[in-house]
Amino acid sequence: MIASSLNPITIGHKRPSADQIKIVGGSGYDLRQPIPVKYHDVRERFLNARKNFWTPNEIPMGEDKLQWNTGALTEAEEWLFKTNISYLTAGDNLVPDNLVNAIFQHITANEMRQYLRWVMAEEANHVESYLFILESFGLDEKGQGKIYNLYQDLPDLVKKVNWNLDFTNNVVNCDAPIGSLEAVRALLEDLISYYVFEYMFFPLGFAQIFALARKGKLRNTAQQYSYIWRDEVQHADNGAWLIRQIAREYPDIWDAKMQDKALALINEGLKLEVAHAHAVMPDGGILGLSVQTYIEYAKFVADNACRNLGLKPLFGIKTHPMPWISEYELNHETNFFEGRVREYQTGSQLNWD
């Protein structure tokens, strides 16, 4: 068993050398030692994330409150928003549970443990953002509760949530010693599902609200989501890095069978997303976003997820189906409160895609 933050200090466990440190399965050294830093990319990721810290109340919500309370959204758009924020709230609560209950106990590099602590704080901030959005609309606790519980009434969304829980529980309930090949295999599968969550499920969910914002609807909410997306990009990058690093440190595990498993998990994630899309856009989409285009975008993202893990893409989608998404990326610091208005106000100016 590796040392964890709950273990007492063991006599003889001294500050490690860089050669001793492993990303998972390291032993015989004190995990509380912040030096030496072996994985400098991880350290930089933490420092960059800290510089990008934000809070939801920095974004004014007056325009969205007015739209919400004056019926500016169509019935289909309101359904899409409600199911969207319901699922994302559940998802952002799941991620830190997975990190603290399953992933964190395996990590034996201090700089990664430090960054994952920050990731958990960011996920808490995301949940606070969803709370802030609904509170700003003037919804009381009962009204908010109906929206947050909505995903539980949709079997396809429940299945998507439970999919991630299966892998988390496989790690928690694994009887093999931490650091053993069997335990690392279970961890890798969980990390791949975590990566699908961060790289696919979250950004695809944000795209639904960005599609509304293109029409001038819920633009304040889209601003909140843009900041969340910037965080999630870093989380996803870190997840992919973790998978690749474990593959380097345990080359016998990252064999053809495990790579096939990774492809299968990404494909499973895509199928879950397709079912989700039909559940939240039951009439074929909303004006400005068709279900078919959304699914093509999901396949495009899935292909990129494969490439990021050094795997052959599953679908061969070479052209970005929704290139306008880049307008909502915060690749650098901007004054987002002065972001340009997307002038797509009337049906005559909008096609499905």
- What is the rounded CA–CA span in Å between residue 70 and residue 218? 13
- What is the rounded CA–CA span in Å between residue 274 and residue 289? 14
pLDDT, tens only, 270-305: 999 999 999 999 999 999 999 999 999 999 999 999
pLDDT over 70 (residue 314) = yes
Q: Which residue has the tokens 């947050």?
A: 148
Residues near 119 by Cβ (< 8 Å), separated by ≥ 6? 49, 95, 96, 99, 235, 238
Which one is predicted more confidently, 5 or 135?
135
- What pLDDT score was predicted for residue 31? 83
Query: Does any domain span residue 33?
Result: no
> Residue 232's domain spans which residues?
40-349
pLDDT over 60 (residue 12) = no
pLDDT, tens only, 20-54: 889 998 888 888 888 899 999 999 999 999 999 99
- What pLDDT score was predicted for residue 62? 97
Please tell me the total count of domains within the chain: 1
pLDDT over 90 (residue 154) = yes
> Which CATH number characterizes residue 342's domain?
1.10.620.20
- What is the rounded CA–CA span in Å between residue 271 and residue 214? 27
Query: Does any domain span residue 322?
Result: yes
Q: Average pLDDT for residues 130-150, to the nearest whole number?
A: 97
User: Cα dist. 285→39, 76, 79, 153, 186 in Å?
Assistant: 44, 8, 11, 20, 37
Return the SS3 of 77: helix
- What pLDDT score was predicted for residue 18? 83
Query: Does any domain span residue 34?
Result: no
Query: Does any domain span residue 12?
Result: no
pLDDT over 90 (residue 70) = yes
Quote the radius of gyration of the chain (alpha carbons, Å). 21
- What pLDDT score was predicted for residue 341? 37
Query: Does any domain span residue 10?
Result: no
Q: Which helix (H) or strand (E) holds 185?
A: helix 181-196
Sequence letter at residue 336:
F
pLDDT over 90 (residue 15) = no
Per the prediction, the chain carries an average pLDDT of 89
Q: Are 229 and 202 in contact (CB under 8 A)?
A: yes
* pLDDT band of 13, cuts 50, 70, 90: low
Query: Does any domain span residue 21?
Result: no
Query: Does any domain span residue 23?
Result: no
pLDDT over 70 (residue 63) = yes
Q: Average pLDDT for residues 250-261, to the nearest whole number?
A: 95
Query: Does any domain span residue 258?
Result: yes
pLDDT, tens only, 196-208: 999 999 999 999 9
Query: Which tokens is 338 given?
Result: 């002065």
Q: Are 45 and 109 in contact (CB under 8 A)?
A: no
- What is the rounded CA–CA span in Å between residue 167 and residue 193? 7
- What is the rounded CA–CA span in Å between residue 192 and residue 302? 12
- What pLDDT score was predicted for residue 7? 52
Query: How many helices and strands in the chain, by DSSP H and E?
Result: 11, 2
